[in-house]
Chains A and B, each alone.
Chain A
Amino acid sequence: MSKLRTAIGPHDHVQGPADAPLTLVEYGDFECPHCGRAHHFIKQLQRQFGKQLRFVYRHFPLTQMHPYAASAAETSEFAGAHGKFWQMHDLLYENQEQLGIDLYMELAEELGLSQPTLRSALGSGEFAAKVRHDFSGGVRSGVNGTPSFFINGERFDGAVEDLADALQQELQRAA
């Protein structure tokens, strides 16, 4: 079974307490419909497990298959540089079918971010390296598609519907 090889660090986007007994890492692609579906499940898991769950999101855009995956990931990183990663992350998934520069501009405005700065960041690829870094770490951890999940560092191979049970079991095992 594959293990997560890149430790969670300051470069990561994290929700939930650092000392939570459960850490769920997702490798995702904003244009991947399965990730869009998983997004709603994860929101449920966060409500269900509360402070017991720490959630980490990393990028794994399949850019040859999904033409907007990279720009969407970079847009989320741009928002992250202004402290609004999660808001942008949620909005991108909620508007997954409209990905593209028009949507990014609209969402930037909605979050009070500068549209020209975002446009130039996307043009210069300012955040491309960060996205690529996530991707490479994912490949080394055996991520073979999206979404891929790791529970406390161990690859979770089941369906997204079974995440809640798997987390519950891990909680009992750890206790």
Chain B
Amino acid sequence: MSTLTPGTAAPDFTLHVTPDQTLSLSELRGRPVILVFYPADWSPVCGAEIALFNEILPEFQNHQATILGVSVDGAWCHAAYARHNNIHFPLLADFEPKGEVAKKYGAYRQKEGIAERALFVIDEEGKIFWSYCSPIGVNPGAEGILDALDRLSAQKKGQGDEQVANSDRAA
């Protein structure tokens, strides 16, 4: 299964973010979204990866980006995990039908029944801007995400300048 690549429309989904609430990707249109698929709550490498992203939240917020974690764990498991580790961003439960969203993104490991360790940066219009699938045992870090957000911001700024230039000409 190959990970969805830049330029592809990000498949929409609605998943439980708490036992009582759901979140849809389409609700976040208009700002960048960082989608973090990871194999499992409580596993050591995932723990290090999620802790790192949790620590970097302010830098993601500088880009007005929303970060979402996704694994096949249930909403109650996510709730306990988030509370135990002080996680301040939403963890979505790709739980029923199991792994459906991960499959849509080409980020599911059928044999083990868990999500890949895959990262996506989705632009304001809901298109995949950058993606990366890390070897399952390797914490990918955040440099790829931050570089992608930088490029996205620069591109937006460029477009903004262009629009200004165009309107100047029109005037």
Contact = CB atoms under 8 A, between A and B. Distances in A.
B146 A64 contact: no
B141 interface: yes
Interface of B: 48-49, 51-52, 54-56, 59, 85-88, 139-143, 146
A139 B85 contact: no
A141 B48 contact: no
A62 B51 contact: yes
B54 A64 contact: yes
Interface in A17-64: 62-64
Interface residues of A, number: 14
Contact of A63 (B55, B59, B139, B146): B55
A2 interface: yes
Interface of A: 2, 62-65, 135-136, 139-145
Given A65-B54, A145-B139, 13 more contacts: A62-B55, A64-B86, A64-B87, A64-B88, A65-B86, A136-B59, A139-B141, A142-B141, A143-B141, A144-B49, A144-B140, A144-B142, A145-B51
Given A2-B141, A64-B86, A144-B142, A139 B51 contact: no
A3 to B, nearest CB: 10
B86 A140 contact: no
A23 B131 CA distance: 33
Contacts of B146: 139-140
Contacts of B49: 144
A169 B141 CA distance: 26
Given A62-B51, A62-B52, A144 B141 contact: yes
30 contacts: A2-B141, A62-B52, A63-B55, A64-B51, A64-B55, A64-B85, A64-B86, A64-B87, A65-B51, A65-B54, A65-B85, A65-B86, A135-B55, A136-B59, A139-B52, A139-B59, A139-B141, A139-B142, A139-B143, A139-B146, A140-B146, A142-B141, A142-B143, A144-B48, A144-B49, A144-B52, A144-B139, A144-B140, A144-B142, A145-B48
